Amino acid sequence: MDQEMRERFYREARASGKLQHENLAVVYDVGEIEGRPYIVMEYLKGKDLGAMIKAKTPLTLPQKLDYSRQICKGLAFVHSENIIHRDIKPENIMIVDGGKVKILDFGIARPVSSKLTQAGTRVGTPWYMSPEQIKGDGIDKRSDIFSFGVLFYELLTYRRPFEGDDTTVMYKIVHEEPPALQLDDIEMREELQALLAKCLAKSANDRYNNFAEVTGALEAVEAKWRDQQRIKTLLAEAETLTLQRNFQQALTRFDEILRLDPQHAEAQSRRQECLGQDKDRRTMKVMAGQIVGETISHYRILERLGAGGMGVVYKAEDIKLKRLVALKFLLPELSRDESATKRFVREAQAVSSLDHPNICTVHEIDESENGQLFICMTYYEGQTLREIIRAGKTPTGVASLSSSLDMVIDIASGIAKAHEQGITHRDLKPSNIIITKDGAVKIVDFGLAKLASNTKITKTGTTVGTLAYMSPEQIKGHDVDHRCDIWALGVTLYELMTGKLPFEGEQELSLLYAIVNEEPAPPSKINPAISPALESIIRQALQKAPENRFAAMQEMYEALRKVRQQTSREKGLTETKSEISGLTAKGKMFFERHEYHEALSRFKAVLEIDPENQQARDLAAECEYKLSELEQISLLLDAGKRSFEKGELKEALNCFSEILALDPKHAEAADFVAQIQKVNEQNERIEKLLVDADFYVKREKFAQAVEAYQKILALDPANKAAARGLQKAQKGLEESKRAPAVTPRPRVTTPRPRVPTPPPAVGLPTPLARPPKTSSKTPAGVAWRIAAISVAAIAVIGFGLWQFLRPSSTQPPVEKTAQQSDSPGPATEAQKTAARLRAEAEQAGAETWASTTLQMGVQEQEKGDRAFAQDDYAAAQAAYETAAGYFRNAKTEAQQNLMLAESDVNRLSELVMAVKRDMEREKTAAARAGAPTLARVAFNNGLRLEKDGDAKAAAGGEANWRAAQQAYAGARDSFRQAREEVARMAMTRTRENAENARNEMINARQQVPGGEEDKRANAKYARGLQAEAAGEQQYQGEDYAAAQNSFRQARDSYVEAGRELGTTAAQSQADAARQAMSEAKSKIDKEGAAEPQYQQAVQIENEAGAAYRDNDFDRAASRYQDAEKLYLAVGSAAGDKRSRERERLAAAEREIQNLINSFKTNFEKRNLAALQALNIFTRKDDAEGWSAFFKDRQNIKNIQVVIGEVSRQISGKNATVSFTARIDFENNKGEPKSTTLPVSWKAEERNGNWVIVDYQ
């Protein structure tokens, strides 16, 4: 080894030895043995990249990018050590097992500052050199980036970017651009082309600055490639989901694609198609009655009632208001028709603006989840007039004329009301008139109504309606107005009275012609019972020209009423009384059912027959009052809800209380009252806790204060006062912990009520002592009375000030003292003491003369009872001791106030007025709670006692004042009792509602199919469990309204989970059956597809697909299995056929090859006869020519036949064979000669043998 090579060797060792990186080969040692240098490196098992590229080892784009990224990382580290590799090429890159890249051979690497390679010299492999290396200019780290670009190009394409010998390659590197990446050979071509262009820039300044930038570019390409692959996967999944009609899941795939590539045109287009298909699927479910059991908005669908010209109608339950309703959806074929949609919306607007007993009530208009509009209407049980007529119940006799006239009069009344509001029905017919089971007439389906203010939606020149009831102007496409309804009612009246339509025709055109040009038969000829007056009404309603009909429906209505009254008079007084009795009975029935509109119409009908009927007049007035009351309730309910939402609870409570006063059974108002009372109780509790907490802070009992503030914030997290107080208490608690311990001086504190009770003043005359019997009229008597009152007042005021100013005079929540214990014994004793003192206070008249103090003691006593029940004996003992203090002071206060009252009538009157104010507060609270109606007995008793108290107080005098005091106290207790009774009722009602909701939820959960593990894996079932757990917690916390909502949410989730899980298993079976069928089908070739069995299988497969799309998975699975069996049978038969055909072809090829071999053998043997036996050379000219050829043995010797490529075309029992035969021979001089003979013949299979039938 010369010195230069030795120096290079050691330079490589030095360069490699100081580099430690996961993508660089590790050098362990370097040395010489017998003058031969060596390097000890880590053992690497794998292939170098050059060998892999040369072998064109298949690599995916991610693998290539990964290898390249590892190379860049390794070279970035090398550059960070100020070393340039200068010989980057595939052979210096080792790919070890596991895909790890190792960079080798730093033999020509040099530090950036090295002077070993001078300008003007070239070191490296020519194909991977940078332009500056070739020119011999100074190089830097960017030269390695160029070399990497060449390597990367070669890795991507398996060819170098610059081809040729050394000189050619170096010229191309300096002066030419590499070939562009082929479009069809590589993915991400544009991004990769840009990356390569920057790496292979001729000027180093135009390349990447370092390998970190190259790595970033590679990662960006890889990220985009992953996105594209993900998009492909998502597109395939979306397509499969779409075929399975799982549009919601397909939409999530399209959304994810658009998140990755917002401009992805195919995803945008397919998403829109999927949305349309999803909407169509849901719409078809609506039409097919498959939404029964589902919940749309707040309506639970119960059954499909039928379909009309504009929509399909379902019977449903309004979950919120617990009532049956009818929901009408727009038909699917009209859902994309803007004019139909506008007409549908207009129907709701038109009908909802009408308030008439004979017009169907519309509650609201809404949209389903897929945007399908529907109208919510009152549900009526009964039949349409069309169904009654078809059932043969058409009135045709004199006895039924009155009832028929009643129906027509009701129809005319309703339509007249609509006409007053500028609304024309335009599709009036028997099928749009419902006769309820109670005989009420209801006009429905204003789907073709036209508002006078909006006449542009149905254009002139179009006809909308049912032909038999259409007016001539509608048929002609002329402008129409309200008189087309008069015509339609005339047709209906004619049909109702005669049982026939006035115009008939076997075909549509003949019917239209009759309506426009012919006159109907007189109805009296069909039904002689029709009076001339009624016939005249029918005839006028059916005039061809609108101006010759009644001018208004009201006019027709009045004419019909006159005929009805005349009919009633003709029927006689007895029958009239019977009719009045029937109408009155129906009216009363409707009144009891709170259907006041229906009841009012019956009572008005009675008044039309008998205007002097006082009972009907009174009942009609009561109906009108009830209707106004309902309107008032509706207004109050709306106002109460608004106030409740704004947090104005007082105003809301007033509204709901007024509703309950009007309707004690109004459930929604009662629920709101219960909620408000709960809020108020919570606020009262918070207020009390605030007082206690502030007290604890003042007494520096910070631990108790912190606990109180935390309780407040648990109830009301937004309470700012509690938050500020908590901070102050926590700060105080921390400071108290840091302060040195001080032994407190024992002090006995005596509980006292919030209202101080003054004891008798020491050294002052007792106010109980009566003055000497001196006439109050004398100066001495007056002076004595004034002095006594003054002394008593001074005593009270002084004691109050003393109590207020002394440090321990504030109400003390009792601390746990040494005498208090966590055992029940002391608490029990304290409980008995409190009970005894309470009894003494009540016996002393504390309920009258110290009610406030007594009530505070009762509250503490109840607090103790709760603590005792929870086994918190220390807290119970403290509460009982506090209560005992209140009761003790209440007794003293009552005795003193009583004695003061006895000594001064004015003082007595003030105390009585204080009791009255307490009573009034209780009365107001009870009234707001709805006690006047919900707790009437107790509330009325309070009113009676209040009235007694007012009378006694007005009379004056000591005895009367005492009686007034007792009456007011009794009234106060009655009002309190009434309020508590309402609260219990509301709580009970709310709890019952919650229990009912829980029972429904439990039933729904039990109906969910499948194992527990499968159910819990379902998202909706899991949501149901969460809602159920929340409901149970709320129920235990007595938050029944919230529990009811949670139970209902859980129930709905269980119902949805049951629907999903019920179909999952069947759907999986159907999917498996379809997959098996598809596999069987895929094995059938074109011939098999022509078999009848195959066509039968395709038909069955289509049936299975239809069942699958309709979610009938059981049938789908069965039909897929049937189709699979047929496909397997076809495939098996085709397989056998193919096997036989293959055997036949093989045999034919063998026979043909034998013919070719015979031709060769006999030709070489010059055996013309044998060739002719094969039907070769049989034509005369061929026979003569080849006979001479074979006989010329002198000039033609040693014949050899070489058969060229043979072409065989075998079809059935026929075959065409062609080949070229080269005839080699020697002439008489022994010189080799050769000629070619094109051979072509046709062969046939005869009796199992192939023979040549035509030789050319």
- Show which residues are catalytic: 427
* Strand blocks (E) in 1168-1211: 1197-1203, 1207-1211
The C-alpha angle 662, 666, 668, rounded to 5 degrees, equals 130
Cβ 788 vs Cβ 765: under 8 Å? yes
Token pair listed for 741: 């311990």
Please state, in angstroms and as integers, the Cα–Cα distance from residue 1098 to each residue in 1078, 1095, 1124, following that order. 11, 5, 10
Please compute Rg for the chain using Cα positions.
Answer: 53
Token pair listed for 384: 């349409």
* Strand blocks (E) in 319-444: 323-330, 362-367, 373-378, 382-384, 423-424, 433-436, 441-443
Q: Which residue has the tokens 């003007």?
A: 120
Please state, in angstroms and as integers, the Cα–Cα distance from residue 452 to each residue in 212, 426, 1025, 1241, following that order. 75, 13, 54, 92
Token pair listed for 607: 């008044």
Nearest residue to 1075 via CA among 1132, 1117, 1129, 1107: 1117
Query: In this structure, what DSSP letter does residue 181 have?
Result: P
Categorise residue 964: left if φ over 0, alpha if ψ from -120 to 50, beta otherwise.
alpha
Nearest residue to 834 via CA among 787, 902, 882: 882
Nearest residue to 240 via CA among 249, 227, 228: 249
| Strand duo 1207-1211 + 441-443: pairing | unpaired
| Strand duo 1207-1211 + 1214-1226: pairing | antiparallel
Phi, psi torsion values for 212, nearest 5 degrees: -60, -40
The C-alpha angle 660, 664, 666, rounded to 5 degrees, equals 75
Distance CA(430)–CA(445), nearest Å, equals: 11
Sequence-distant (6+) residues with CB within 8 A of 1054 are 1001, 1004, 1005, 1007, 1008, 1020, 1021, 1024
Nearest residue to 124 via CA among 147, 141, 104: 147
Three-class secondary structure of residue 314 per DSSP: strand
Cβ 1020 vs Cβ 1049: under 8 Å? no
Cβ 929 vs Cβ 659: under 8 Å? no
CA within 13 Å, CB half, 173:
26
Nearest residue to 1042 via CA among 679, 639, 655: 679
Distance CA(461)–CA(1101), nearest Å, equals: 47
Please state, in angstroms and as integers, the Cα–Cα distance from residue 699 to each residue in 662, 812, 814, 874, following that order. 51, 9, 12, 20
* Strand blocks (E) in 1091-1149: none
Farthest-apart Cα atoms in the chain, separation: 192
Distance CA(147)–CA(105), nearest Å, equals: 14
Query: In this structure, what DSSP letter does residue 25 have?
Result: P
Sequence-distant (6+) residues with CB within 8 A of 608 are 561, 564, 565
Distance CA(871)–CA(36), nearest Å, equals: 95
